[in-house]
Amino acid sequence: MKNITVIGAGTMGNGIAHVFAQSGFAVNLVDVSQDSLERGLKTIAGNLERMIAKEKITEADKTATLNNITTFTDTAEAVKNADLVVEAATENLDLKLKIFKQIDEAAPVNAILASNTSSISITKIASVTSRPKQVIGMHFMNPVPMMKLVEIIRGYDTTDEVTKAIMEMSEKLGKVPVEVNDYPGFIANRILMPMINEAIYSLYEGVAGVKEIDEVMKLGMAHPMGPLQLADFIGLDVCLSILEVLYDGFKNPKYAPCPLLVNMVTAGKKGVKSGEGFYDYSESKKAEKLAAQFAK
């Protein structure tokens, strides 16, 4: 596989495009608007500059990486020669099903179709395509250029050959692939989201404050970031969506989202992306400082 198409130029999409392009693959990066694509490329360039400052890559590496990326607003055109398509759109089932129907019709018959979904069923996504055996999950972690883990999710029909190819591909990116089966939340979010939800419940019930909850987990459990701060970086709307998938999938009340989380998302307080969550990110420098702290 040499030609990669990444659907979505947001936080996850531009990170995925970055690691493929830096590893020498030809990458087509797709989004609905040229402005979104330009923001994505700017983010990639900025991340490459930080890697140069840390002497992890050279200026020539940066130039080669950016030259490996071509941008598109036409999805059908972007996938027509793809060996692998990685969808990294918003965590919304209807949107993902629409995208997979579209790329299934336009991509070569042998192309593998992957989703970066963090919780939505790969089997359900595959069901709207004509190639369920070639559909798989590639759940990258944020920030993609730094985090080693890729959660590889097999749908009900995903073949051994496709799974092996994607495991090997992930290793070529310098990542550590871990194979899991297709159940709500997979492994990463099935374990992480209940912890975040319990932290929110602890705040909601007045057990401790935001900073106190995060300090306990950072200092007592050696977490690099407390669960409430992490929720802000993930996006509170994304956390809510994943918890709803878990609750709907298992029908177990332990996955029910905390009312405080629901209210915050309803009020538009979604974390870093909206400027306010459990912490205040209204000053851009403050958000950048926290992002830099997380990136160390």
Could you give the CA distance from residue 100 to residue 294 in angstroms, rounded to a whole number?
A: 33
- Which of the following is catalytic: 36, 116, 139, 197? 139
Torsion of CA 99, 181, 231, 213, to 10 degrees: 170
User: Is 223 one of the annotated active-site residues of the chain?
Assistant: no
Q: Which helix or strand (DSSP H or E) is residue 87 part of?
A: strand 84-87
Hey, what are 8's tokens?
């979505």
Check if the beta carbon of residue 81 is closer than 8 Å to that of residue 11: no
Which residues, other chains included, contact 200 with Cβ-Cβ below 8 Å and sequence gap of 6+?
A: 228, 231, 258, 260, 261
Catalytic, out of 36, 116, 151, 276: 151
Binding site as annotated, residues: 8-13, 31, 91, 96, 118, 142, 273
Is residue 189 part of the annotated active site? The answer reads yes
Residues contacting residue 269 through CB under 8 Å, at least 6 positions apart: 236, 276, 277
Rounded Cα distance, 36 and 197, in Å: 31
Looking up tokens 């974390």 gives 271
Catalytic residue among 28, 189, 197, 274: 189
Binding residues for NAD(+): 8-13, 31, 91, 96, 118, 142, 273
User: Which residue in the list 14, 68, 115, 118 is annotated as catalytic?
Assistant: 118
* Closest to 87 (Cα-Cα) out of 66, 67, 106: 106
18 is catalytic: no
User: Any idea which residues carry the catalytic annotation?
Assistant: 118, 139, 151, 189
